[in-house]
Amino acid sequence: MDVTKLFLPQTQLEEWALADKADLRDGHLVVAEEGGASFPTVPAVHFVQLVSGDDTHQLVAKVKTEAQLASLGAEQMADSVLLGETAYEIVPGYLTEVAPRPSDKKVGNEADLLAAFILNKMG
């Protein structure tokens, strides 16, 4: 089964929550505009750029969950991650995975709907 992984920046989720479009509840993204569709989420960061040191782990432009950061021995502080002597600028947020359900009768599937919602709202 195909799974689509999407990174959702914290700032975007806050905007959606204030507009009553989507919200995080009990580790799930609930999208009100899609009839309350729910998608599991985990805290994650998007590595934007290298601030100092060498990117030996090739993390720039990657998304890692908190568990993956812990396994690397990395430490997150606000909008930065330190990994040994290397510092990165990051965007905090959440990672969600959506998989199409064979029983979906709608035009498109949940992954397409969520991706379209995110692209329309972020663009």
57 in any annotated domain = no
pLDDT band at residue 111 under the 50/70/90 scheme: low
The verdict on residue 41 lying in a domain is yes
pLDDT band at residue 109 using 50, 70 and 90 as cut-offs: low
User: CA torsion, points 109, 115, 119, 120, in degrees to nearest 10?
Assistant: 30
Whether 4 shows a pLDDT value over 80: the answer reads yes
Classify residue 87: in a domain, yes or no.
no
In a domain, 54, yes or no: no
Asked if the structure places residue 16 within a domain, the reply is yes
Counting the structural domains of the chain, the total is 1
Q: What's this model's pTM, rounded to 2 decimal places?
A: 0.79
58: left (phi over 0), alpha (psi -120 to 50) or beta: left
Task: Give the span between the Cα atoms of 24 and 41, in whole angstroms.
Answer: 8
Parent domain of 36: 4-45+62-72+93-120
What residue ranges in 1-71 does DSSP mark as E strands?
4-9, 22-25, 28-31, 37-52, 63-65
68 within some domain: yes
